[in-house]
Amino acid sequence: MTATEASDQAPTSMNNRQILQAMSGLMAGMFVAILAGTVVANALPRIIADLGGSQSAYTWVVTSELLAMTATVPLWGKLSDLYNKKLLLQLSLGMFVVGSLLAGFSQGIELLIFSRVMQGIGAGGLTALAQVVMAAIIPPRRLGKYAGIFGAVFAVGTVAGPLVGGVMVDTSWLGWRWCFFIGVPFALLAIALLQRTLHLPTVRRDVKIDYLGAFLIVAGVSAILIWTSLAGNQFDWASWQTAVLTGGGALLLVAAVSVEARVPEPIIPLDIFRNRTVTLTTIASLLVGVAMFGGTVFLSQYFQIALGKSPTVAGLMGLPMILGLLVASTIAGQIISATGKWKIYLVAGGVIMTAGLALLATIDANTGFGLLSLYMAILGIGVGLLMQNLVLAAQNDVPAAELGAATSVLSFFRSMGGTIGTSVLGAILANRVASEMAKSLGTEGEAAGGSSHAVPDMTTLPAPMREIVENAYGLATAELFLVATPFAALALLAVVFIKEKPLKTTSGMERLAEEAKQAVADGDKPSSPTPVS
């Protein structure tokens, strides 16, 4: 292929209408992924109580999806650099549909957790691929504006999810199973929209999938995450199980690094970490995951148990944080697109998120909704300024051929941080609740689930016992935010050292064509982008 031919195949810049049409399926897919987590949030206390689960099971229903998503994000990201991104998106949505149906028909905790793993694999694809596709069709300089639209979808899904979930739980003729069924039609709609609107070039070339590296990464990460989920609950932190899981996980990851350093098509290209921006945004994403996901996933439980609210009211109580996130991400995105300046928003987001978590560390069962709303809004603003802009900074600083790898690396470490945070903080919550119950009730605490870590059904408890349980969960939830605060401070430290670079004005497709043209000029033989609908 000559340089002229490479130039002729370069995709032209898409106008706003074409971008919005292409994004319609992406937005529907992301809405599904968000709905999967948020619609269940307020229903989980009822689900766990109905299925006879424990506090450990409560944590595992959340963690299993995060674990599966975390372990598979690098695979999806690598596949997106090799195969048709649209087909991969549709495959991930199909897996999500299967997981949702299994979850809705679950008759026990075991099947529910397995179904959440299926949902997590699908969500891993959506998480990695949606941002990769956005970077492929939208230049970084214009990305902020469209990221604001995704922020709106995120906010709607996050607001609607808990409300819909709460209403379903409180409606006798629906029930919590519809929390899982409701996402299925949206997923099917997303598949149809993607088929109709998304048209991307794919690279036709011989590929070698690093199956050994993929297995070692998934096995190593899973061993570490399973340890963080079970340690302190199923077995002691200092035990032979800890030695086996941590030692085995570490050995598997060392082997994975060795394999990734040698194979021609690594799942996670190690040389990508030579880029300072990618390394620092990866560290920040990991810490944000620990702080944000680990700190906020138990808020619905706090609303319902510590504050005694219904699932529907608990959904409404989360609005301040979501509105803060929506406003911050939308306004920052517009300003970044207009000015090209982005680092100030990363630093401000780190400061504000740290402050929000520190303030939430002061709550208890008697905290008024006004103060609670203020603290949640502050946290939401910080997260809104930080999360999407970390991805923008990394995508702006890598070659187009590595967009998938860079994006998936950030998503991978953010998800891993969230999984570790959820697991560890869930264990802290269970132990602190048991400790507070034991202080108040002694051996009688077992009756309310103190020693067994069972999630109490507040509707069946007498008033004196309910007050003790509310106090225990209020204190335990505050402790979670206290533990999460230093991680947010470390994330702030990481973003301070990121060097601000001008945002590129060409999309990933255009940059890929330019790189192919340059490769031809240099005497290499690049692959040719071939349109695939």
- The string of pLDDT tens digits covering residues 99-129 is 889 988 888 888 888 888 888 888 888 877 8
Copy the structure tokens of residue 523: 């005497």
Closest CA relative to residue 72, chosen from 279, 181, 222, 191: 222
Say if residue 380 is exposed, middle or buried (CB neighbours under 10 Å; 0-12, 13-18, 19+). Answer: buried
CA–CA dist 304, 82 (Å, integer): 46
Contact 116, 64 (CB under 8 A): yes
User: Taking a C-beta distance cutoff of 8 angstroms, is the pair 76, 231 a contact?
Assistant: no
What is the rounded distance in angstroms from the CA atom of residue 122 to the CA atom of residue 125? 5
Counting Cα atoms < 13 Å in the Cβ hemisphere of 503 gives 24
Half-sphere CA count of 92, side-chain side, radius 13 A? 35
Helix (H, G, I), strand (E, B) or coil at 362: coil
Q: In this structure, which amino acid lies at residue 495?
A: V
Q: Where are the beta strands (DSSP E) in 32-94?
A: none
The alpha carbon of residue 223 and the mean position of all alpha carbons in its chain are separated, in whole angstroms, by: 19
CA gap 116, 59 in Å, rounded: 12
DSSP-assigned beta bridge partners for residue 231: 235
Helix axes 508-521, 109-137, angle to 10 degrees: 60
Beta strands in 63-192 (DSSP E): none
What are all long-range contacts of 338-341, with beta carbons under 8 Å and residues at least 24 apart? 340/141, 340/502, 340/503, 341/500
pLDDT of residue 10: 38
- In the prediction, which pLDDT does 255 show? 93
Positions in the chain whose pLDDT score sits under 50: 1-12, 444-452, 526-533
348-390: pLDDT as tens digits: 999 999 999 999 999 888 888 899 999 999 998 998 888 878 8
d(CA 159, CA 11): 37
Nearest to 73 by CA among 123, 32, 117: 123
Q: Given this model, what pLDDT does residue 350 score?
A: 93
